[in-house]
C-alpha cells in the first residue's frame, strides 16, 4: 500500500472517529441553548451519550492507524525471513 493511500485512509478513519463530535456541535448549534440550565443539560447529554461513543471510536481509530501503518513492515520482515532455495 502506498504512502498516499495510507494518508487518505487515515484521514477517512479520522473523519469517522470524529463523527460524534460533529453531531454534538451541529445539535448544539441548532438547539442554541440560552440559559445556564439548558447549556448544562446539553453539555451533560453530549458528554454522557456522545462522549462514550467518541471514546470507543478513539480507541478503534488508534488501533486501526497502528495496524495500517505498521502492517507493511511486518509483511516485509516475513518475506525477508523466508529461507531462499
Domain boundary assignment for the chain: 3-80
Model confidence at 72: pLDDT above 90: no
pLDDT at 73 over 60: no
Q: Please list, in sequence order, all residues whose beta carbon lies within 8 angstroms of the beta carbon of residue 17, skipping any fewer than 6 positions away.
A: 54, 57, 58, 60, 61
Angle at 66 between CA 9 and CA 59, to 5 degrees: 90
Percentage of the chain modeled with pLDDT above 90: 52
**Higher pLDDT among residues 45 and 81, named by residue:** 45
Between residues 21 and 78, the one the model is more confident about: 21
pLDDT at position 12: 92
Angle value at C-alpha 29, between 43 and 34, nearest 5 degrees = 65
pLDDT reported for residue 3: 84
Amino acid at each position: 500500500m502506498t504512502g498516499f493511500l495510507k494518508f487518505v485512509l487515515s484521514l477517512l478513519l479520522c473523519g469517522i472517529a470524529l463523527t460524534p463530535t460533529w453531531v454534538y456541535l451541529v445539535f448544539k448549534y441548532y438547539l442554541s441553548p440560552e440559559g445556564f440550565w439548558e447549556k448544562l443539560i446539553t453539555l451533560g447529554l453530549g458528554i454522557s451519550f456522545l462522549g462514550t461513543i467518541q471514546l470507543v471510536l478513539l480507541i478503534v481509530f488508534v488501533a486501526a492507524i497502528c495496524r495500517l501503518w505498521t502492517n507493511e513492515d511486518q509483511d516485509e520482515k516475513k518475506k525477508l525471513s523466508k529461507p531462499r532455495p
